[in-house]
């Protein structure tokens, strides 16, 4: 029985570490979007169209 608890604790620790890494990566990605968007030399409509295009592709990949 204690062996199961040890495996459960190890799994919980691994999931927690993965969660911290994913949240940190998400925060960095959201923080950089403004800087990266400002560095693109295109009109706002073009940027919006491309963001929508790539967003729809990523959402489609996630759903299917």
Give the model's pLDDT for residue 8.
81
The residue range of the domain holding 11 is: 2-63
Q: Work out how many domains the chain is built from and give that number.
A: 1
Give the model's pLDDT for residue 4.
64
CA-based radius of gyration for the chain:
19
Give the model's pLDDT for residue 6.
81
pLDDT along the chain (64 residues), means of 10: 70 92 96 90 94 96 94
Which pTM value belongs to this model? 0.60
Give the model's pLDDT for residue 18.
96
In order of 45, 62, 64, the CA distances from 25 in angstroms are 28, 18, 24
Task: Round to whole Å and give the CA distance between 7 and 11.
Answer: 6
Task: Round to whole Å and give the CA distance between 13 and 11.
Answer: 5
């Amino acid at each position: 029985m204690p062996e199961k608890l040890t495996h459960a604790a190890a799994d919980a620790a691994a999931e927690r570490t993965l969660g911290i890494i994913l949240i940190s990566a998400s925060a960095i990605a959201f923080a950089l979007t403004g800087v990266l968007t400002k560095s693109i030399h295109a009109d706002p409509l073009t940027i919006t169209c491309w963001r929508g295009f790539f967003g729809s592709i990523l959402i489609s990949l996630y759903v299917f």
